[in-house]
């Protein structure tokens, strides 16, 4: 079971290395890592489970954050439906992701971005595309294309940055003139 202490801290130099393309089929180690990432991200967003397991809340995680220098990430996105009291989630697993198109419009997370590898308060914003189209592969090597907007688009770009050796703290700015916050 993955714990917060298993996630690399921003001081670890591996987080600034570019991850390598995945060759299919996935190894059992990669499949287990993906399962562990899903479980961690899901449980970290449910308050009582997060408290019980001492998990920092997170929406996404790239393989490199576990020291695995391969191009894949997981995003577990809470979806809210009107009049629904039960928490529901959509899970995205994207192997060898590439942003194939994006909007001209840029946005920022109004509370700023966070990261499971950055264990400190940060100030500033990261400019991201409001909409992205990402292509890649599922766990079985089947080609997939996912369109994401706003919060989900921010998460995808954040995780792809990890795969390229970039932390959100490398992109922080205080100048967001004309950029919509969500």
Q: Using alpha carbons only, what angle is made at residue 109 by residues 150 and 136, rounded to the nearest 5 degrees?
A: 45
10, two tokens: 């921003």
Residues in the chain, total: 182
Distance between CA atoms of residues 155 and 61, nearest Å: 9
Distance between CA atoms of residues 176 and 179, nearest Å: 5
86, two tokens: 């039960």
Number of helical H runs and strand E runs in the chain: 3, 8
Distance between CA atoms of residues 127 and 158, nearest Å: 11
Known catalytic residues are 159
Contacts of 159 (CB under 8 A, 6+ apart): 60, 61, 62, 73, 75, 97
What φ, ψ does residue 179 adopt, rounded to 5°?
-105, 130
């Amino acid at each position: 079971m993955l714990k917060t202490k298993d996630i690399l801290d921003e001081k670890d130099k591996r987080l600034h290395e570019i991850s390598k393309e995945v060759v299919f089929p996935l190894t059992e180690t990669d499949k287990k890592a993906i399962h562990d990432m899903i479980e961690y991200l899901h449980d970290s967003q449910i308050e009582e489970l997060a408290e019980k397991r001492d998990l920092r809340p997170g929406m996404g995680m790239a393989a490199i954050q576990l020291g695995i220098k391969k191009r894949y990430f997981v995003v577990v996105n809470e979806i809210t439906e009107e009049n629904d009291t039960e928490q529901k989630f959509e899970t995205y697993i994207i192997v060898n992701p590439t942003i194939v198109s994006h909007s001209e419009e840029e946005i920022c997370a109004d509370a700023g971005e966070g990261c499971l590898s950055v264990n400190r308060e940060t100030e500033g914003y990261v400019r991201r595309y409001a909409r992205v189209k990402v292509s890649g592969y599922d766990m079985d090597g089947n080609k997939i294309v996912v369109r994401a907007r706003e919060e989900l688009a921010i998460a995808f770009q954040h995780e792809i940055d990890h795969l390229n050796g970039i932390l959100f703290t490398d992109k922080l700015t205080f100048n967001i003139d004309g950029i919509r916050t969500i």
